[in-house]
A and B are shown apart, each in its own frame.
Chain A
Amino acid sequence: MGKLNHSDVVHLLVQLGIMLIVGRILSETARKFKQPAVVGEILAGILLGPTILGMIQPEWFETLYPTSSDSGIVLTGLVQVAAVMLLFIAGLEVDLHIVWQQGRQALSTSFFGLLIPFSIGFTFPYLFPDFFGIAPGQQPIIFALFMGTAMAITALPVIVRILMDLNLFKSKMGMLVVASAMVDDLIGWLIFSVILSLIGKGNDNMSFLSTLFLTLSFAILMLTVGRSLLNRALPWMNKKLAWPGGILSISLALCFLGAAFTEYIGIHAIFGAFIIGIALGDSEHFSERAKEIVHQFINNIFAPLFFISIGLRVNFIANFDLLLTLAILAIAFAGKITGSGLGARLGGFSLRESLAAGFGMNARGAMEIILGLVALENKLINEKVFVSLVIMALITSMVSGPMMKWVLKLK
Chain B
Amino acid sequence: MALLFKKIAAAFAFSPTLEGLLTETARVQKYWNSELILIHVGEHSQQEEQQLGELLEKIGLSEYGNLKIVWEKGNPVDRILKTCSREQVDLLIAGALKKESMVKYYLGTIARKILRKADCSVLVLTSPSILPTQIKNIVANTEDTEFIEEVLTTACTIGQKENSNFLHIVREIKMYGLTMSATENCTEEEYAALRQNLVQDEITEVEEILLRIPHEGLKVNVKLLSGKSGFELSQFAQRKNAELLIVGAPQRKFSFFDRLFTHDQEYLFADLPCNLLVINPRKEVSRG
Interface residues of chain A, those whose CB is within 8 Å of chain B, are: 27, 31, 36-37, 93, 95-97, 100-101, 103, 156-157, 160-161, 163-165, 169-170, 178, 224, 284, 287-288, 291-292, 295-296, 299-300, 303
Contact = CB atoms under 8 A, between A and B. Distances in A.
B216 interface: no
Interface stretch (B9-17, B29-37, B92-100, B180-188): B180-188
Contacts of A37: 184-185
A95 to B, nearest CB: 6
For the complex of A and B, list the 10 residue pairs with the smallest distance between their C-beta atoms, beginning with the closest.
A161-B181, A284-B231, A284-B228, A288-B175, A37-B184, A164-B181, A97-B263, A169-B177, A160-B180, A100-B263
A169 B258 CA distance: 23
A295 B252 CA distance: 33
Interface in B162-189: 174-185
Contacts of B185: 31, 36-37, 161
B198 to A, nearest CB: 9
A303 B226 CA distance: 26
Contacts of A169: 174, 177
B263 A101 contact: yes
Chain B residues touching A, range: 20 to 34
A224 B259 CA distance: 12
A269 to B, nearest CB: 23
Interface centre among A97, A161, A287, A295, by most chain B C-beta atoms within 10 angstroms, is: A97
Contacts of B179: 288, 291-292, 295
B175 A292 contact: yes
A101 B265 CA distance: 10
A149 to B, nearest CB: 23
Given A161-B180, A164-B177, A100 B257 contact: yes
Contact of A284 (B184, B227, B260): B227
Nearest to B190: A31
Chain B binding surface SS class: helix
A161 B181 CA distance: 4
B144 interface: yes
Contacts, number: 73
A164 B144 contact: no
B177 A300 contact: no
A178 B227 CA distance: 16
B267 interface: yes
Contacts of B227: 284, 287-288
23 contacts: A31-B185, A36-B184, A93-B180, A100-B261, A101-B264, A157-B180, A160-B181, A161-B180, A164-B177, A164-B181, A164-B194, A170-B174, A170-B177, A284-B227, A284-B228, A288-B175, A288-B227, A292-B175, A295-B179, A295-B180, A295-B183, A299-B183, A299-B184
A97 B228 contact: yes
Interface string B228-240: 1101100000000
B175 to A, nearest CB: 4
A144 B65 CA distance: 76
Interface in B103-154: 144
A161 B183 CA distance: 10
Contact of B177 (A100, A103, A163, A303): A163
Contact of A288 (B184, B194, B226, B264): B226
A375 B258 CA distance: 36
A73 B74 CA distance: 73
A296 B185 CA distance: 11
A290 to B, nearest CB: 10
Contacts of B226: 288
Nearest to A281: B176
A317 to B, nearest CB: 27
A95 B263 CA distance: 10
Interface string B208-233: 00000000000000000011110110
Nearest to A163: B177
B177 to A, nearest CB: 5
Contact of B184 (A100, A170, A300): A300
Contacts of A103: 252
B36 to A, nearest CB: 35
B202 to A, nearest CB: 9
B176 A288 contact: yes
Contacts of A27: 184
Given A103-B252, A288-B227, A160 B177 contact: yes
A190 B165 CA distance: 53
A156 B232 CA distance: 24
B59 to A, nearest CB: 40
A97 B262 CA distance: 8
A165 B181 contact: yes
B181 A300 contact: no
A297 B28 CA distance: 53
B237 to A, nearest CB: 15
Contacts of A164: 177-178, 181-182, 194
B46 to A, nearest CB: 48
Contacts of A163: 177
